[in-house]
């Protein structure tokens, strides 16, 4: 079915070596024969067998992104990553690299699957997301010397890998600042229940800002839940049951906010009127919700592009003349004021 380099060679009556050189744009092949090879390749619909090429070159020319749904996320997944992946793939494609997304089962953090990708050399590098504060995946990768980059920070692995993150700490603080400026002093925070680093950073910023404003931290105003509508719905009533209920709530993401607002509405509390609402990771959903939710919007596609650049720059084989360099960036999160606070 698929034509090989041998077919081409036979068809043109030249050796496979020459065909390969012509195809790969090497200098030591006559301009005329090169053209004939190229024509024949098009005519016979030839494209190189990926396995053969990878085997010989010792590289797969692809990058793997490890994707897994969260626990508690049986129904619908996280749309967050699609634009990120779009940017990532676009930039990788410029260097001739393919992006493959490796799926896992919900909730498993893919240590096993990651091993398989690395050990069977399915990809030349991997990109990790949902970084945890201490992340065994990162430990494994640094220790095995496999190239990788992360969307999100972690304390694991030191400075040995490129990472790109959003400034959740500042966003948490900014949200508090804004709410305090509008007269709130009882401010709740709803976080993901997992040990995800951005949940930690967000809370750190939140606490720091509270302290700055001389407001005492109240554990009753903090709640953790699944990162989806159901999580927000389940957990929001908890903070409202405080002896001194909050007048404002900061949600870690849009889906949790949606569920939380539903829970509020069901007890007759109007989000945006009776209780102010701010969302840390904003999506179009926030914009079209009623009331439109104030939030911090990340530039996901540019982030994908940038992380691709950073990853490539960290790999000697792809880094340019100035050699491999590891960079870590934290991007600002800009507040977009709407109607909910």
Partner DNA sequence: CCTTTTTCCGTAAACGTTTACGAGAACACA
Partner DNA sequence: TGTGTTCTCGTAAACGTTTACGGAAAAAGG
Structure tokens belonging to residue 112: 């096993």
If you count DSSP H runs as helices and E runs as strands, how many of each does the chain have, helices first?
Answer: 13, 12
From 297, 321, 326, 322, select the one nearest 309 (Cα to Cα).
326
Cα–Cα distance, 108 to 222 (Å, whole number):
26
Cβ atoms of 256 and 289 closer than 8 Å: no
Query: Based on CB atoms, which residue is closest to DNA, 95 or 193?
Result: 95
Q: Which does 14 bind (CB under 5 to 8 A by kind): a copy of itself, DNA, none?
A: DNA
Structure tokens belonging to residue 317: 């084989």
Considering only residues 40, 45, 49, 202, which one is a binding residue for DNA as defined by CB under 7 A?
49
Considering only residues 42, 45, 58, 316, which one is a binding residue for DNA as defined by CB under 7 A?
58
- Least distance between a copy of itself and beta carbon 41 (Å): 11
Query: Based on CB atoms, which residue is closest to a copy of itself, 30 or 290?
Result: 290
Q: Which does 268 bind (CB under 5 to 8 A by kind): a copy of itself, DNA, none?
A: none
Which runs of E-coded beta strand occur in the chain?
A: 62-67, 98-103, 125-128, 148-151, 163-166, 187-192, 222-225, 248-253, 276-281, 294-297, 328-331, 334-336
Residue that the structure tokens 């720091």 belong to: 208
Alpha carbon distance, N-terminus to C-terminus of the chain: 63
- Least distance between a copy of itself and beta carbon 118 (Å): 8
Considering only residues 35, 39, 43, 53, which one is a binding residue for DNA as defined by CB under 7 A?
53
Residues that bind a copy of itself (CB under 8 A): 1-2, 45, 47-52, 54-55, 60, 67, 69, 73-83, 85-86, 88-90, 98-106, 115-116, 119-122, 144-145, 228-230, 232-233, 255, 258-259, 261-262, 265, 283-285, 287-290, 292, 300-301
Binding site for DNA (CB under 7 A): 4-6, 13-18, 20-21, 23-24, 28-34, 46-49, 51-53, 55-58
């Amino acid at each position: 079915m698929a034509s090989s380099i041998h077919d081409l060679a036979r068809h043109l009556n030249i050796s496979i070596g020459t065909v390969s050189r012509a195809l790969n744009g090497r200098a030591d092949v006559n301009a005329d024969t090169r053209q004939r090879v190229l024509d024949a390749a098009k005519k016979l619909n030839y494209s190189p067998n990926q396995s053969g090429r990878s085997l010989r070159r010792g590289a797969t020319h692809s990058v793997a992104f490890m994707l897994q749904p969260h626990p508690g996320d049986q129904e619908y997944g996280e749309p967050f990553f699609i634009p990120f992946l779009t940017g990532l793939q676009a930039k990788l494609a410029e260097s001739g690299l393919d992006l493959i997304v490796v799926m896992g089962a919900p909730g498993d953090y893919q240590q096993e699957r990651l091993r398989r990708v690395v050990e069977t050399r399915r990809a030349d590098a991997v990109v990790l997301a949902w970084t945890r504060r201490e992340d065994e995946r990162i430990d494994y990768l640094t220790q095995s010397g496999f190239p990788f980059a992360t969307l999100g920070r972690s304390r694991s692995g030191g400075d040995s890998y490129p990472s790109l993150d959003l400034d959740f700490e500042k966003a948490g603080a900014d949200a508090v600042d804004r709410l305090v400026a509008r007269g709130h002093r009882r401010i709740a925070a709803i976080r993901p229940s997992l040990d995800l680093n951005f949940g930690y950073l967000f809370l750190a910023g939140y606490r720091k800002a509270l302290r700055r404003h001389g407001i005492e931290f109240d554990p009753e105003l903090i709640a953790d839940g699944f990162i989806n509508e159901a999580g927000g719905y389940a957990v929001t009533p908890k903070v409202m049951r405080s002896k001194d209920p909050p007048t404002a709530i900061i949600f870690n993401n849009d889906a949790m906010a949606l569920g939380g607002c539903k829970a509020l509405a069901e007890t007759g509390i109007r989000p945006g009127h009776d209780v102010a609402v701010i969302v840390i990771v904003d999506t179009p959903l926030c914009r079209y919700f009623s009331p439109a939710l104030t939030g911090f919007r990340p530039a996901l596609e540019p982030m994908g592009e940038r992380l691709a650049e950073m990853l490539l720059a960290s790999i000697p084989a792809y880094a340019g003349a100035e050699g491999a360099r590891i960079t870590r960036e934290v991007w600002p999160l800009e507040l977009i004021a709407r109607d909910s606070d």
